[in-house]
Structure 1
Amino acid sequence: MTDRVVVAGAVLDGGRLLAARRSAPPALAGRWELPGGKLEPGETAPEALVRELREELGVEIEPGERIPGEWPLAPGYVLHVWTARLLSGEPRPLQDHDELRWLARRELDSVDWLDQDRPAVSRAARHLPAAPSA
């Protein structure tokens, strides 16, 4: 049996990456992730990402490229991450999150990412402008 895919969006806007703090389940609460959710039967990964971010954040996004790699989650689930461009709406924590933050490249280490999100975040960082030299 193949693993069920969970899609997450590395939402990029204005040279920043969107981070979402989990409010549930209790084991994950307080840690940060790239927002997304489970692929439903008959959906493509980009379609699932558009639906999940609409449900969770109240925004419309345009999926971009898949970030190479996949990361195991709970048994039977695997994480696939896509870049995404914000088209409309202001992200709000509607489901499963209690706080959102836009992070510049130099701020990515300022939140406690879920372990499975760390490799995708570091790959997504390549899409962000380098920090200005001091």
Structure 2
Amino acid sequence: MSTIGDYIRQQREQAKISLRQLADAAGVSNPYLSQIERGLRKPSADILQQIAKGLRISAEALYVQAGILEDRPADSGVRSALLTDPSLTERQKQVLIEIYESFRREGKPTPPTAEVISVVRDHPEAAQDAAQDTDPA
């Protein structure tokens, strides 16, 4: 993506929602969101967070695209796939990333993404339990 606006437009189109729907969900005006998508305005971190909620994607993904956060080291695409999966809630994405990172820290093989996502979709309570069992240290 060349700009944050291009990235937001791509995510909106993938989610199959209109500019008006996203503007309403994010709590911003249609013209303002249109200007962001066209690269005429640079949104603040707060606005990016609202847009991320409207798109149901990670705010971190938007922060990286906007240059607010540095992208983390390569993770074989697992982290990126989780952050951009529109069928996962923000909480599920956070839990899966925490689980994934804990496996990486321990040096254990990472479970296949598709299997983990399937488990979380079918058993969200298991993901919450797993998140409580992970050691953030």
Interval containing the TM-score (normalised by the shorter chain): under 0.3
Choose between structure 1 and 2 for higher RCO, CA contacts under 8 A separated by at least 6 residues.
1
Q: When the two structures are superposed, what TM-score results if normalisation uses the length of structure 1?
A: 0.26
Which of the pair has more CA radius of gyration?
A: 2
Q: When the two structures are superposed, what TM-score results if normalisation uses the length of structure 2?
A: 0.26
